[in-house]
Structure 1
Amino acid sequence: MYHVVIGVDDNEERAVACARAVADLPGAASDTRVTIIHSFTDNPSGASAAQIGSVREATEYLEERGIDVDVTESSGDPAEQILDVATAEDANLIVVAGRKRSPTGKALFGSVTQSVILNADRPVMVAGDTEN
């Protein structure tokens, strides 16, 4: 069984891009298991990860293709939470979304994707962004 952890934020297009990248991996869908993690930085309404549109869209996309999906949620630094789940689940691959940002934007505002890439102890795939 090939286990993939997908880090998902609130953006539905990026979440589906990650799901599409996983569905396009070689091998049978029945041999792939996915854990989608959404890390809340602010959750005043008390929503669960499964209620977030981006998580629902990615889950539906994968399940329609016969891929087993679990959803988990956390709070705190998203990059740390993605890495923690990947370690705890002994994932084979981490998938995160990329987006176009200037070097200054990355330096000023940080980048979850960049932090995951730099600190992961396993392969990381960056799914393309559909936004400009």
Structure 2
Amino acid sequence: MPTDEYILYFSVFFQQSLTQSAAIEAGREGEKNSIKESIKYGNKTTAVESVAKCTNLSQSSMADNYKTAPFDARFPNQNQTKNCWQNYVDYHRCQKIKGEDYEPCDYFRRVYKSLCPLRWVETWDEQREEGCFPGKI
């Protein structure tokens, strides 16, 4: 079964097609139109509810974990690779300096989890464990 992170990542990029296809499969034309309207006017709650129904997750767990990274003026372009990297490094620096129980470090974790592909994070975690991570933490 896919992890919650994978499902959230999937839902962000494919929520419109997934929710529309779910409504079509269920044969509910009215629901299909309401989902289209919700997405069109930015009602994320309805889209998240539909994705939760399709993936058999509770609505509250989807909505609680559905967060995107805020705008950062240091990274104004569409490519967010550097933003991902910087927040990953900042999170681990913060934990090293302040300790693992320091709550403000969680901000960096939430941002890098929102921006970074899971495979990159897994690779960087492995590199840190092996002592060959290229960043200065």
TM-score by length of 2: 0.26
Richer in helix (by share): 2
TM-score by structure 1 length? 0.26
The structure with more strand, counted as a fraction of residues? 1
